[in-house]
Chains A and B, each alone.
Chain A
Amino acid sequence: MSFALTLKSFLVDRHSNESVMLRYAESGNKALLTKLYTACGDDLYHFVLTLSEPILAQDICQKTWLKVMEKKHLFRDSGQFKAWLFTLARNLLIDELRQGKPMTGDINSIHDNAKALDTKHQQSDIHSVFEQTLLSLSFEQREAFCLQQEGFSLQDIANITHCGIETVKSRLRYAKQHLSKQLEKYAETDHD
């Protein structure tokens, strides 16, 4: 029984992102990198896309994966690979935003969209409402919400976004309240 458990944990551990990353750091094997990309590539792109716009998101994702290749030796065994990956991407994105690169999805334009949403929902389905409402959130609330949806704990989110747990809780609360409110409004309108 204990042998079976040990074998199971060995096999599970061997295929975890962290284990794959450690093996990639040692060997630089292309197949392992592909495996990591398959596991986290879409999640990362969606996260960055939600915080920016398609071209910038693509650029940031490429740079992030290049960093994974170049800085693979810096990955620590104790860390969670996905959290490390998202931290790299977020830092790159923040750098890009600080350099003042034009963004179609920046905070100001998103707030303008939000105001428009408050007055009238022009979307045809709930997914569009969700999309618009999500993008109307502030950058910090959006990133906190996305990170939680990606399965990160409050502590992980605090680490990735470099702020305290209470701040993260507050951002999440506001984000969810806002999303719920807009979706309720939509539901009421839809039923009317």
Chain B
Amino acid sequence: MTKDNEPSEEALAKLYSKRKAAHLAPVSIKRKLLEKQTSHKTTTAIFNRISYVAVAASTLLLISIMMFRNVQFNKPQIAYQSVEIHSLSNVKDLSSEGIHNRYAQHYKDYLNQRKTYAQHHQKRAVLSVTDNIWRLKTCDAEVMQLSEQLISALTDLQQIDMQLNSGDVVEIAFDQSGIILGIQRSHTPLSC
């Protein structure tokens, strides 16, 4: 038996190596692989670039939103109260002085209304009638004078007890905005 024919580990290894040398990988595998690698890399590069652009754009957008919000937050907050004035006037006074006067009058009315509203929880008062002028005196020694128009309006609406006399204790009904809706006799004496 020649050395080549010897069925030893070494001989098997030699035969295996020779067989391997006779069956090399076709060049086409390598060529196709490198082509794929190039296209794969190009695709990956494009994808990476798109992702970078997307990240940059979203970061810019986020920064813009944050800056806009900061500007909004830093704006001085102006406390204001809106007063809606509705009136029908027959007088066609369109001069600036007339408008100013009307505005002043309405503002005065508004302040009075606020004052009345502040008292709305004090529902009970003592009626005082002098010279046909109705006044309501509360426990805080505040006096509210009722206008004739209000009394006549409440009378029309039957929201005022016409049997009331001076010195009677009355219950005053207010609405949410402090406007007097009705005045009725109270059967409970007022104890301040």
Q: Is B one of A's binding partners?
A: yes
Residues of A within 8 A of B (CB): 28, 30, 33-34, 37, 41-46, 49, 58, 61-62, 65-66, 69-70, 126-127, 130-131, 134, 146, 149, 176, 179-181, 183-184, 186-187, 190-191
Residues of B at under 8 Å CB distance from A?
1-2, 4-5, 7-9, 11-13, 15-20, 22-26, 28-30, 32-34, 36-38, 40-41, 44
B24 close to A66 (CB less than 8 A): no
Interface of A is mostly: helix
Candidates A62, A131, A146, A179; contact of B33 at CB < 8 Å: A62
Give B58 Cβ to nearest chain A Cβ, in Å: 25
Question: B16 — nearest CB in chain A belongs to which residue?
Answer: A149
- Supposing A37-B33, A46-B19, A46-B23 touch, asked if A190 and B41 sit within 8 A by C-beta, the answer is no
Of all chain A residues, the one with the shortest Cβ separation from B36 is A66
| Chain B interface main SS type | helix
Report whether A34 and B34 are in contact in the complex, using a CB–CB cutoff of 8 Å.
yes
Given A127-B15, A134-B19, decide whether A45 and B4 contact each other with a Cβ distance below 8 A.
no
Are A33 and B25 also in contact (CB < 8 A) when A131-B19, A179-B12, A183-B5 are?
Answer: no
**Shortest distance from the beta carbon of B31 to any chain A beta carbon, whole Å:** 10
Instruction: Report the 7 A-B pairs with minimum CB-CB distance, sorted nearest first.
Output: A45-B25, A180-B7, A183-B7, A187-B5, A130-B15, A149-B16, A46-B20
Q: Is the CB of A126 within 8 A of B4?
A: yes
Q: B37–A41 contact, CB under 8 A?
A: no
Contact (Cβ within 8 A) A127 B18:
yes
- Alpha-carbon gap, A42 to B17, bound state (A): 11
From A33, A34, A41, A126, B29 is in contact (CB under 8 Å) with: A41
